[in-house]
Amino acid sequence: MSRLDSMIRRLEAQRATLNAAAERIRGRAGVVLEFGLGNGRTYDHLREILSGRDIYVFDRQVAAHPDCVPPDDRLYLGDLFETLPQAVADLGGRGALAHLDIGTGDKLESVALSQRAAPMVAELLAIGGVVVSDQPLDGFTAFAPLPLPEGVKAGRIFLYERV
């Protein structure tokens, strides 16, 4: 499979899983957490499918399309592990949905990064909150795996509920 085809499948899986997660939290209170703004595509999608929700974004630096930059009061800018403690103090237990897309391009490094962030992400989420992650969060008792949407290949993206 070409890298282009692989990317298309990854993006389709990401969109389907974000849509399923949004449906799962419909009617529940809580903020949305976007880890990894990148160029802003998923942030923009979350704004569309969860309009009216406060979306808080975490990234090392802003490099997004100008239309996809969150307001300053909803942006945690800098090293994730320096900004997460403040976010927990500000938002702890209020998260309805978290989208973790904080990969580095190196699989082992990306898994380690997600595993390190997972306990603080759990603190940000309310019980019943949903996590969509590009890396597995297995082994954390705070997260229970959820079934992926139909057509999404296992291992391409991960879906969890905060228990």
pLDDT for 11-49, tens place per residue? 999 999 999 999 999 999 999 999 999 999 999 999 999
Domain ranges in the chain are: 3-162
Q: How far is CA 38 from CA 15, 24, 131, 147, 149, in A?
A: 15, 25, 18, 27, 24
Class of domain 3-162: alpha beta
Pairing of strands 95-100, 75-77: unpaired
pLDDT for 61-113, tens place per residue? 999 999 999 999 999 999 999 999 999 999 999 999 999 998 777 888 888 88
* Whole-angstrom distance, CA of residue 135 vs CA of residue 145: 12
CB atoms within 10 A of CB 96: 24
* Whole-angstrom distance, CA of residue 79 vs CA of residue 61: 9
pTM, whole model, 2 decimals? 0.95
pLDDT for 117-131, tens place per residue? 999 999 999 999 999
Q: Is the pLDDT of residue 148 over 80?
A: yes
Question: Taking each helix axis from N to C terminus, what angle separates 41-49 and 3-25, rounded to the nearest 10 degrees?
Answer: 30
Name the token pair of 27.
């009617």
